[in-house]
Structure 1
Amino acid sequence: MSRRRQRRQYRSTDPFIDLLFNALLGFTFLFLVSVMFMNPDARKGRINLKAEYIISVTWADYLSDDIDLWVQDPIGDTVSYLRKDAGWLHLDRDDRGEVNDTIIIDGKEVVYPINQEVVTIRGIIPGEYTVNLYYYAAADPLPVQALVKVEKVNPTLQTVYVRKVALPQQDDEQTVVRFTLDNTGAIEAINQLPKRLTPYALDAGG
């Protein structure tokens, strides 16, 4: 076989090789896209951390009063609107009364009147946790009634502490509960001894 004929035969196979290569690239691309859609959290670089405890405070709907939830863990990390992530603590919802009750859905304003703040504990550190309420902004001269819940999530949802608190005036800070967790995450002690968490409250003990 002449060298010219060999070269012609080699060139005749180039389109077929290119087709196989392009098909392989296309398959690889579709595979990567399908993986991204099956796992959108991985695509966004997020890690779905499970909650061990949920701490929430709710007060009357449609009120403009701003109540803040402050939680401190055994090593001194404190979560609030000033710091929404602190160790295993995370402020999932920061509510400012009616100020942030309006949301936009399909281009229309919708009022979400529920006043609630939520903190999750996403890992267990043995020791004492402190839960405080701070009356940040008053819109009414009457005291605000707030309901605080501490709920254990794992292995099943269980309410472990509930307390109603009256906040009489702006700048009032009250310790709602202090609870101690053991190495397994179970509550072994509860008290309501006052402890100031905010750096600017006028009344640390309520």
Structure 2
Amino acid sequence: MTIRKFFSFRPFIDVLFCCLLMLVAILFLLKTEEEKTKMRPPNVLYEVILTWDGESEDDLDLYVQSASGHIASFNNREGGQGSLISLDHDALGRQRNNSLAVGVAGTVVAFNEEKVSFRGVTEGENIVTVHVYSKKDEGPTKATIKLIKIKPFKELAVKEREFSTTGDEKIAFRFKTDDMANVIEINELSANLVNPIGDFQE
């Protein structure tokens, strides 16, 4: 009695197809990573980005204190002499910053954004807070704060905060850096950069 043996290429084809899918996925991720990196300035190590609804009339301000003690904000955009941080954009809310003039056709991004760039870092702790300069919306305003490493691109922290009244200041996060520019710790211990303890208004 003769037993016929059948050989099928189907399992081999299935494995090959799966490998091709994985290769395509990896190439797509690498391309996305490359595009994100290209969008970032070459002379920046880290960015702290604050965003909130583009329809909001509220004026939120990002405050960043570097480990060297310099503070970048809307009223001190370069952080002072010797600073390695700077505020790239001060968003003022929809009417003053995020809308087109009457009769002008065009497109505007759907969010308000402020960004502080780190051209360098020193060993120590960096502090990030958000302050409400002017609260005009009726309800609370939700804001997102991100800490981004530029090369290779990576979101190191993403925090959300809600603000209800003018004058509110909330910690976004603190992050510690070593002498090799690595972020070694992130925490949310309270801080006040607008009116630090010991400073009094008359």
Q: Tell me which amino acid in the other structure corresponds to 2:147.
A: V
Q: Tell me which amino acid in the other structure corresponds to 2:61.
A: D
Offset at residue 198 of structure 1 (A): 0.5
2:149 pairs, out of 149, 152, 162, with 152
The residue correspondences of 1:104-143 to structure 2 (distance < 5 A) are 108=104, 110=106, 112=108, 113-143=110-140
Secondary structure of the structure 2 residue equivalent to 1:85: coil
Normalized per residue, which structure has more helix?
1
Offset at residue 61 of structure 1 (A): 1.7
Query: How has the CA–CA distance of structure 1 residues 55 and 66 changed in structure 2, closer, same or farther, with 3 Å as cutoff?
Result: same
Aligned to 2:200: none
TM-score by length of 2: 0.69
Task: Tell me if structure 1 keeps the 8 A contact 2:67–2:121.
Answer: no
Offset at residue 120 of structure 1 (A): 0.5
Task: Name which structure has the greater RCO, CA cutoff 8 Å, separation 6+.
Answer: 2
Aligned to 1:161: 157
Distance 2:123 2:196 in 1: 28
Q: Tell me which amino acid in the other structure corresponds to 1:187.
A: V
4+ residue runs of structure 1 moved beyond 6 angstroms?
A: none
Aligned to 1:84: 77
Distance 1:159 1:96 in 2: 25
Task: Tell me if structure 1 keeps the 8 A contact 2:144–2:159.
Answer: yes
Secondary structure of the structure 2 residue equivalent to 1:141: coil
Query: How has the CA–CA distance of structure 1 residues 64 and 200 changed in structure 2, closer, same or farther, with 3 Å as cutoff?
Result: farther
* Alignment: residue pair count: 151
Task: Tell me if structure 2 keeps the 8 A contact 1:101–1:111.
Answer: no
Task: Tell me if structure 1 keeps the 8 A contact 2:176–2:183.
Answer: yes
Q: Tell me which amino acid in the other structure corresponds to 2:65.
A: Q
- Which whole-Å deviations, capped at 9, do the CAs of 1:151-201 have from their partners, x for residues lacking one? 0012x1110000111112211000110000011111111211111100399
Aligned to 2:91: 95
Structure 2 residue 192 is matched with structure 1 residue 196: yes
- Which whole-Å deviations, capped at 9, do the CAs of 1:87-139 have from their partners, x for residues lacking one? 011111110001122467xx946462421111101112111000000011111
Structure 2 residue 52 is matched with structure 1 residue 59: yes
- Which whole-Å deviations, capped at 9, do the CAs of 1:70-89 have from their partners, x for residues lacking one? 00011211000001102011
Task: Tell me if structure 1 keeps the 8 A contact 2:66–2:121.
Answer: no
Task: Tell me if structure 2 keeps the 8 A contact 1:150–1:159.
Answer: yes
Identity percentage of aligned residues: 27
Q: Runs of 5+ in structure 1 lacking a partner?
A: 1-47, 202-206
1:75 pairs, out of 57, 68, 71, with 68
Query: How has the CA–CA distance of structure 1 residues 63 and 74 changed in structure 2, closer, same or farther, with 3 Å as cutoff?
Result: same
Instruction: Tell which structure's C-alpha radius of gyration is larger.
Output: 1
